Amino acid sequence: MSIIPKLILSFFIALAAGIILAPAVIRFFCNLKVGQEIRDEGPAWHNTKSGTPTMGGIIFIIACMVSALIMAPGNLEVIMLVFLSVSFGVVGFVDDFIKIKLKRNLGLTEKQKLALQIVASLLFAWVLRDTLSNVQIIIPFTKISFNIGMWYLPVAVLVSLSSVNAVNLTDGLDGLASSITVVVTIFFTFVAFLLKATQISLFGCALAGSVCAFLLFNKYPAKIFMGDTGSLFLGGALAGMSILTGTPLFLIIAGGVFVMETLSVIIQVFVFKATGKRVFKMAPIHHHFEMSGYRETRIVIIFTLLSLLLCIIAFGGFLLYMK
């Protein structure tokens, strides 16, 4: 089978698996009363979402794994992409479980989460050290690339930690993180395809298909939330794809909304500690727009379209390198 039919099949296997799995997962978590605890400091109207099943990231984790491992059996890069993503998903699962078990919106401590994330990143980089030490990092909008050599370990850790925590911060509105992730995943799938990284593009199609399936149930009003289980998995998957294709700098552009969300939190905290004043009505920035009167669905649409625009710009920068 040629690559194009394989890519299409990878997408639709994941899509079908997610659609079939989602209702059962939602019923299961509802019966267990595995509901989201809403933060006291969040927007007051989010209290109506309290009790919505969480940890729904399990849906696209399973769907993505099934498709990726069927379509690219035995491939080390795909296996390690799955490992990295699932490792972060497990950290998120433990965090979610603690929140639900203790009936509070705090899970693992920041130090615990950071330590576990670093371990997952290091294991991924160490197993693929022969591949990663030869990766050429591409500089956007140029024909320049450079070999990272022995720097593969810190690069893998930095990109992974940045990605997973940025996606995690973005997961605050129904369908927001999942919509943006689909767009960014499609970008990296095209990049992998053009670089002839066939197995990575198959993983990308599996990821996109599984998240599209989840989005059917996560769009407003959400029937289930992805939780840290899902957001950390997605961040790990995007990080892994960008590292293996030598395009982590493109993640900054294509994932610009994730960057914007993260910067809004950093700016808010820094300015508040320095001056006692707030730059935004609430951070991350999607809550600022909520507090400014924008409907949740409108924010999701605008942020998704912005992601699409940023991915088109990033793709233009990538094509300049390929010429």
Containing structural domain, residue 289 = 3-322
Domain count, the chain: 1
pLDDT single digits (tens) 136-174: 999 999 999 999 999 999 999 999 999 999 999 999 999
Residue 156 has what pLDDT?
Answer: 96
Is-contact 128 76, C-beta < 8 A?
yes
Q: How many CB atoms lie within 10 A of CB 44?
A: 8
Q: Which residues pair with 35 in a beta bridge?
A: 53
pLDDT single digits (tens) 260-275: 999 999 999 999 999 9
Q: How confident is the model at residue 32 (pLDDT cuts 50, 70, 90)?
A: confident
Residue 317 has what pLDDT?
Answer: 97
Is the pLDDT score of 191 beyond 90? yes
282: which 2 tokens? 């609430």
Give the single-character DSSP code of 136. Answer: E
Which single residue is written with the structure tokens 């992409």?
Answer: 81
Residue 100 has what pLDDT?
Answer: 81
* Poorest-pLDDT segment among 96-100, 110-114, 245-249: 96-100
Which single residue is written with the structure tokens 């294509």?
Answer: 254
Q: Is the dihedral of CA 172, 174, 179, 182 positive or negative?
A: positive
Q: How many CB atoms lie within 10 A of CB 140?
A: 18
Treating both helix axes as pointing N-terminal to C-terminal, what angle do 176-194 and 198-218 enclose, rounded to 10 degrees?
Answer: 160
Q: Which of 124, 108, 132 is nearest to 161 (CA)?
A: 124
pTM, rounded to two decimals: 0.95
